[in-house]
Structure 1
Amino acid sequence: MSVLRIDTSIQGPRSASSALADVAEAEWSAVRPTTTFVRRHLGAEPLPADAWAAAITGGPLPEEQRTPAQRDAIALARTLADEMRHADAAILALPLYNWGVSQHAKTWIDLTIAGAEKGERLLEGKPAIVLTTRGGGYGPGTPREGWDHNTAFLRRIVADVWGAELTLIERELTLARVNPAMEALLETAELMRKAAHEAASHAGRAAASSAR
């Protein structure tokens, strides 16, 4: 069995989203210890930002008319689509940056779609755990309510476009420990951390048990 794991945080070992993905992966492995994990850490090793345009413009052309950059981009897009197509499940750590989807995640999403067949649902019926984190608070009644343009997009792509059986885990206030202006929110932030880790633990075990 194979699980595709994608990380997009730029925070390295301090990443809240990767920490949640680690929990989900550990619980998955406890249920299915022989699982193979196919990994891409796009925060540490980003995909080329110009590859999507090259893949899209080169796609309709005959092979002999494509530039070397277009050929490379098309090959990369097909590789990414194959990684998802051949996975039995996915663990995706995709934090919010600047109120939206990170550039690393968006490049990966665009290229994966470009490498698939038109309308292909690459995760059809497969479990996918999306772990998304936000430094501040975006809930009802907060000053930034409505500013999260990341989570709904991820739900649309992973569940509706790719067809996954989605489990979405969210954690907010991840910057409370490093931002003095958020000191009053430390207790709430800790409760959110614990709840998200418990949810990730449960999701990892549940997904491993349900994967076919």
Structure 2
Amino acid sequence: MATLLHLDSSLFPAGASASRAVTDAFRKAWEAQHPQGTVVYRDLSVDPVPHLDGLAASAAFVDPAAHTPEQAAAFAERMKLVTELEQADAVLIGAPMYNFTIPSTLKAWLDQVVLMGRTAGPESTVKGLPITVVASRGGSYAPGTPREPFEYVQNYLGALLSEMLGAEVDFIVPELTLAASNPAMSELIPLAEASREKALADAAEKAKSLAARVGSAA
């Protein structure tokens, strides 16, 4: 049966997070298509993975037989995350924008699983893996908006996941999420609500379509 790897990285819990609401809608639609499938869930905010350190990084360039005990232990933890990614049939990532970019916890996970010569590079073991990213943001960074030059979530993740991993990347973008709580954005509330509803609908539709495609290929 199909396996979905689901990652959330919002600082806020369900009910207070735009990205979690949309990833939840995606996951529920996916599970409806694969009731016997597996969902591997990681909440990177609640249970963050370690930042990549010198031991884990250097171990990737050393014959495992020559690893020091410290390198072996660090690399084993890294390989758990890599294997988890490789075993997924699809990946769902909640990536809210904080200070123009992704949460540091998500960056830590990426640094662990991007492994040159294995998951990254011409012979990537995850080439073609479908990855859906929910890129929520408090304002709008869409093409033509004043803040377009500061969009470092889609630009970064699109480049990393597609160019380095060879993954098939798709984005769902709920924006203007701060409109209801920021008086200066009050006139944008209707647009924010429309964006949220579209994101939820897109999540359900994309999950259903992807689940059917992955299931038929299994």
Question: Normalization by structure 1: what TM-score?
Answer: 0.90
Q: State the shift of 1:67 in Å.
A: 5.4
Q: Secondary structure at the match of 1:114?
A: coil
Q: 2 CA distance for matches of 1:178 and 1:73?
A: 43
195, 207, 211: which is aligned to 1:208? 211
Q: 1 CA distance for matches of 2:184 and 2:55?
A: 44
Structure-2 residue corresponding to 1:91:
92
Structure-2 residue corresponding to 1:102:
103
Query: Number of aligned pairs?
Result: 210
Aligned 1:191-206 pairs, distance under 5 A: 191-206=194-209
Change (3 A) 1:25 1:208: same
Q: 2 CA distance for matches of 1:116 and 1:107?
A: 19
Unaligned runs of 5+ in 1: none
Question: Normalization by structure 2: what TM-score?
Answer: 0.88
Change (3 A) 1:104 1:122: farther
Structure-2 residue corresponding to 1:159:
162
Q: 2 CA distance for matches of 1:115 and 1:3?
A: 23
Q: State the shift of 1:158 in Å.
A: 2.3
More strand as a share of residues:
1
Q: 2 CA distance for matches of 1:48 and 1:143?
A: 36
Q: 1 CA distance for matches of 2:210 and 2:32?
A: 12
Structure-1 residue corresponding to 2:78:
77
Q: State the shift of 1:65 in Å.
A: 5.3
Coordinate RMSD, CA, aligned: 1.9
Q: 2 CA distance for matches of 1:25 and 1:65?
A: 39
| Paired amino acid for 1:23 | A
Q: Secondary structure at the match of 2:115?
A: helix
Structure-2 residue corresponding to 1:187:
190
25, 28, 36: which is aligned to 2:27? 25
Unaligned runs of 5+ in 2: none
Q: 1 CA distance for matches of 2:116 and 2:7?
A: 17
Q: 1 CA distance for matches of 2:166 and 2:40?
A: 20
Aligned 1:11-90 pairs, distance under 5 A: 11-13=12-14, 14-49=16-51, 51-61=52-62, 66=68, 68=70, 70-90=71-91
Q: 1 CA distance for matches of 2:30 and 2:21?
A: 14
| Paired amino acid for 1:166 | V
Q: 1 CA distance for matches of 2:67 and 2:143?
A: 53
Q: 2 CA distance for matches of 1:122 and 1:93?
A: 23
Q: 2 CA distance for matches of 1:7 and 1:109?
A: 13
Is residue 166 of structure 2 the alignment partner of residue 177 of structure 1?
A: no
Q: State the shift of 1:90 in Å.
A: 0.9
Runs of 4+ in 1 over 6 A off after TM superposition: none
Checking the alignment, whether the CA contact within 8 Å between 1:81 and 1:115 is kept in structure 2 is no
